[in-house]
Each structure stands twice: as C-alpha cells, then as structure tokens.
C-alpha cells in the first residue's frame, strides 16, 4: 500500500450485503449492511412514530439502514420500563451482576471482528483505531466486575466515640441514568459510562448520536446476550433538542459526552431538578516535547496523539510545544512520519487513518486550515481534502506559524490538524499549554520521568500522559478520567466513575452513652465533659 493511498474496499464478513449489485433486481444491493441484521438491531429502539431516518457510511456515502425515531411519549415509555427493571435489578446480588459483566467481557472479545466492522462502516475510522473500542469496553467491564465489592460494599467509618459509635456508609443506586453518547467512539462511549451504572444497580436510558446508532445498538444486544435483563437498558433515537429535555426531566442522573455549549445547557437543566450530572466536553489539548525527549519516540507518539481516528478524539492533541534544543530534529521526524501515513477506506488492517465522519466535520477542518494559511501559517504536511479516497477524507496536517488571530489557534478543530510552536523555557511552555479555557488532556515527552511528573502537576488538565499520547490514562480504568475548566465536570473510570451513580447513606449505631446529659448531669456539665473529650482526642491524635 502506498502512503496516502486507498486499499480496495472490503465488506464486513457476515454483515455486508451479497448478490447482484443492481437495485432493480435486488432491493438490498444499495445497502452496505444486510437489512435483516440492521432490523435485528433497530428493533431495540423504543419507537411508535412510524418514522425513520437513513444512516450512511462515511467511506462511500452508501446507506447502511434506517433508524426508527422516538417521540417524547416513547421517552416516557422507555423510562417506565427502565424504572420497573431497575427495582428488580437493585435487589440482584453483586455476584450475579459481576457474572453478567464478565460474560459481556468475553462476548466482546469473541465478537470483536463484528464490532470493529460495524464501527468502521458507521464512523469511517481505520480498523486499528476501531479495535480500541472493544478493547476499552472489555477493560471497563472486567474492572467493574472485579472491583464491585471494593466500590459498593458497606464501608466502616470512624465513630465520634471510639468503641461506642459504629458507623457504616452504604452505596445506594440513584435509579435510572440518562446517557447521551457521541459519534466519535460509538461503541466505547455507548457502553463505558453505562456499565458502572448497571454495576451499581441502576438502569439506563440511552440516546446515542444519530450518525452511529447501530454500533451502540450492537452493544445493547451484547448486554442482553451476556445476561442483563432486556428492559434494563433502553434506547431512544432522535434529535437532542427534542429528546434531551424529556430525558433530563425523567433521569435520576445524567451522563453526557459532547460539546461544551451543549454540556452547559444540560448542566443548567440538571441544576433546576437538583440532580447530578457528569460531562466530558471539548478540549484543545497540548503536547510538550521537552529538551531531553527521545525524539524518535516523541515523533511516533505525536502521530498517534494528533491523528488517531482522524483527530476526532476528545483527548487528541491539537497544540504541540517543542523545546528549542530538539525542535528541528523533532519536526523533521514528525513530518516524515506524517507524510508516510497510509489513508484508506477499507475494513482490512493496514490503514493508518480513515475518514472524517461527515461533510460538516470536513467543512470545519477545511475552514480552519484555509483560515490559518490565508493568515500566514505554513503547511508542513497535508493541508488538503482527498475526495479521491472518499467524500470526507482529509490529509493529516501539520501547521507552523499559527497565531492568535487564526481560528485554529484556540478553537477545537476536532480533525487531523495540529499546530507546532517552539518554546525557549519550560515555564513558558506550561503557561502556553494552560492558556485558553479548556483542560481535558495533555502529554509530556521527557527522559526524566520525575521532572515530567512535576511539570504535569502544573498543567490544568484532568489527565496527563508522560511519554504517551492518551492511551496510558484512557486505558488505566482504575484511575479517574475527565476534564477541568470548560472541559467538563465529574469523572469516568475508577471509584469516581461508579460512585457518581450512587447515593451515599450513613448509618450510625450508638451504644451505652447518648448525646445528651445522663444520670442527672446538667447541660453545663455535659458541655464541659464533651469539651474535655475533644481535647483528649486531639492529644491522642484521633480523627
């Protein structure tokens, strides 16, 4: 395969249509996927409208199927079903929940080719980037299955009177969680936030993005096959502006991944109802290449940091700050690696980057690059659309000389475009990395891990990866992940990722003494006794 070339398109085994290519003789021939397979997935959408919306593959514009649309009444139905299922599920022992979660883990690994094929058809990404999706969901399922007791069992806390006050904290499920997931990682983001909600005893009502409904619905099918009750995870389909409000009105908690502007609207609506929400929002993520970085390793990592999933990744990098001492050597290697990338629209392994998701995304990327070039930025690699490969392909692009008056300087591009900046000292690099309103992810390349970790503490981002682009934090499920500042609130993964779906309940049992005068003691004497007790506890270094 030549650099920047297109491998011959392949059909997903078991999913693609077969037979004559003439729609006059075969009405299925115009569809990329078998209509029966698609109907088996879309039957899970709660819909009584009789309306449907076609969905298309970014690779070729070929239709994939039709998605039934939900009404506000359908949203109400979904929540009623989920609520009934949740009541029984909350009483299900943790061992049984964990067993279903581990069955899901194995199913995902067994069916990964099917998952990857469908993700590629819907999102247009390269197969190696689609593989990240079943990998991440399997990791998430296994983690919460294996740590369920650690996170959810009642925990003992120190009582106010040692030995006489027993305190336990229980973790109770919130009820029905509303999940609104994006298109860029349609299988991962469909499931990874909902799995800990299920593990904690909740039900889910889910609205996936319209462009990638089928990948999400495949995830729901696998949940049922793994042993989760069918009504426990409900799916609705339709525009967010129509269904988002009704979902928030019925949810006990809301989880959203998407734009900062929409996240703020959701946060206000949740605040009006006094319910919690977690929001992973936009980013303009920085990568720092320090003077002692291993240049080849940094250049390889920078390619993944900037161009994984064609840059359509919340934690991908769009700003790169490189030390004077290594700038020229690093840029030469980074440009060389970028120009050697293989673009392709097939389902086979071998492509380094796939397509953008839509014309809207292509238009944004094109506008950002043209604006920058028109104002004096230099293109070191890429810089043009590739309609010869597919309708929404754009070359991986490196810009130099980007200035604050250019749109791509501060606005999120969400495409395969990164800007290079030279820096003179590390304090300057940190200040520039922290500039702007976002704070989702950052990356630092240095041979000195201790110094890099110290610098990481100065960067206002929810995750920082050292000598790696984003995979180290994203795949470490035991650690929390989320944004600071305008990049969001709340965390997925780890203890925080499951505790957000629970209410903490403190239960205290008091023995022998009471918190009131006893045996004829006056109120004043009781106050003196309690004061003396506080002084004693402090001397004994007790909590």
- Integer Cα distance of 543 and 533 in angstroms: 13
- Is position 120 annotated as part of the catalytic site? no
Q: Which of 314, 318, 412, 426 is catalytic?
A: 314
Mapping DSSP onto H, E and C, the string for 121-134 reads: HHHCCCHHHHCHHH
**Contacts of residue 298, Cβ cutoff 8 Å, sequence gap at least 6:** 289, 326, 330, 334, 445
Question: What is the 8-class DSSP label of residue 43?
Answer: T
At residue 318's C-alpha, the angle toward residues 314 and 320, to 5°, is 135
- Is position 95 annotated as part of the catalytic site? no
CA atoms 435, 440, 445, 446: torsion sign: positive
Q: Which of 114, 122, 133, 280 is catalytic?
A: 280
CA atoms 147, 488, 216, 114: torsion sign: negative
CB 186 within 8 A of CB 216: yes
Task: Residue 343: name the closest of 63, 61, 31, 58 by CA.
Answer: 58
Mark out the alpha helices in 354-470 (DSSP H runs): 359-374, 407-410, 426-434, 449-456
CA atoms 277, 49, 61, 21: torsion sign: positive
Pairing assessment for the beta strands 165-173 and 155-157 based on DSSP bridges = antiparallel
Which token pair is 81? 């079903």
Task: Calculate the alpha carbon distances from 53 to 208, 210, 215, 465 in Å.
Answer: 14, 9, 16, 40
Residues annotated as part of the active site:
280, 314
């Amino acid at each position: 395969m030549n650099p920047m070339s297109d491998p011959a398109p392949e059909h997903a085994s078991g999913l693609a249509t077969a037979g004559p290519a003439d729609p006059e003789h075969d009405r299925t021939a115009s569809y990329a996927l078998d209509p029966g397979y698609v109907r088996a997935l879309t039957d899970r959408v709660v819909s009584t409208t009789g309306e449907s919306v076609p969905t298309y593959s970014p690779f070729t514009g070929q239709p994939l199927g039709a998605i039934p649309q939900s009404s506000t009444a359908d949203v109400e139905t979904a929540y009623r079903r989920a609520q009934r299922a949740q009541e029984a599920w909350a009483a299900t022992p943790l061992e049984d929940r964990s067993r279903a979660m581990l069955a899901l883990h194995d199913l995902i690994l067994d069916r990964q080719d099917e998952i990857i094929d469908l993700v590629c058809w819907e999102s247009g990404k390269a197969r190696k980037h689609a593989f990240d999706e079943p990998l991440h969901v399997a990791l998430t399922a296994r983690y919460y299955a294996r740590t369920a007791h650690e996170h959810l069992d009642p925990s003992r806390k120190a009582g106010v009177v040692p030995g006489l006050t027993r305190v336990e904290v229980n973790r109770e499920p919130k009820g029905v969680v509303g999940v609104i997931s994006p298109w860029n990682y349609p299988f991962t983001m469909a499931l990874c936030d909902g799995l800990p909600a299920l593990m904690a005893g909740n039900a889910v009502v889910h609205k996936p993005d319209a462009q990638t409904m089928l990948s999400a619905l495949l995830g729901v099918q696998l949940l049922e096959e793994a042993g989760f009750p069918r009504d426990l995870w409900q799916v609705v389909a339709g525009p967010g502006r129509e269904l988002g409000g009704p979902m928030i009105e019925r949810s006990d908690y809301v989880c959203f991944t998407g734009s900062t502007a929409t996240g703020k609207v959701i946060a206000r609506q949740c605040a009006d109802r006094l319910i919690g929400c977690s929001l992973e929002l936009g980013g303009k993520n920085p990568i720092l290449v320090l003077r002692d970085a291993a240049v080849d390793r940094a250049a390889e990592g920078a390619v993944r940091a900037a161009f994984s999933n064609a840059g359509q990744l919340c934690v991908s990098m769009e700003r790169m700050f490189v030390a004077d001492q290594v700038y020229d050597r690093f840029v030469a290697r980074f440009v060389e690696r970028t120009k050697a990338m293989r673009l392709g629209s097939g389902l086979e392994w071998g492509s380094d980057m796939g397509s953008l998701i839509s014309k809207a995304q292509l238009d944004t990327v094109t506008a950002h690059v043209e604006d920058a070039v028109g104002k004096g930025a230099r293109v070191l690699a890429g810089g043009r659309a590739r309609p010869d490969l597919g309708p929404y392909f754009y070359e991986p692009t490196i810009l130099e000389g980007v200035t604050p008056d250019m749109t791509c300087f501060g606005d999120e591009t969400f495409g395969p475009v990164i800007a290079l900046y030279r820096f003179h000292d590390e304090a300057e690099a940190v200040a520039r990395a922290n500039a702007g309103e976002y704070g989702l992810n950052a990356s630092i390349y240095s041979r000195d891990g201790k110094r890099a970790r110290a610098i990481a503490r100065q960067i206002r981002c929810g995750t920082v990866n050292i000598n790696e682009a984003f995979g180290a934090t994203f795949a470490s499920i035991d650690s929390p992940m989320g944004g600071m500042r305008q990049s969001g609130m709340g965390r997925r993964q780890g203890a925080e990722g499951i505790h957000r779906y629970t209410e903490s309940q403190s239960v205290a049992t008091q023995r022998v003494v009471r918190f009131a005068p006893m045996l004829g003691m006056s109120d004043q004497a009781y106050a003196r006794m309690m004061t003396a007790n506080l002084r004693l506890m402090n001397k004994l270094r007790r909590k």
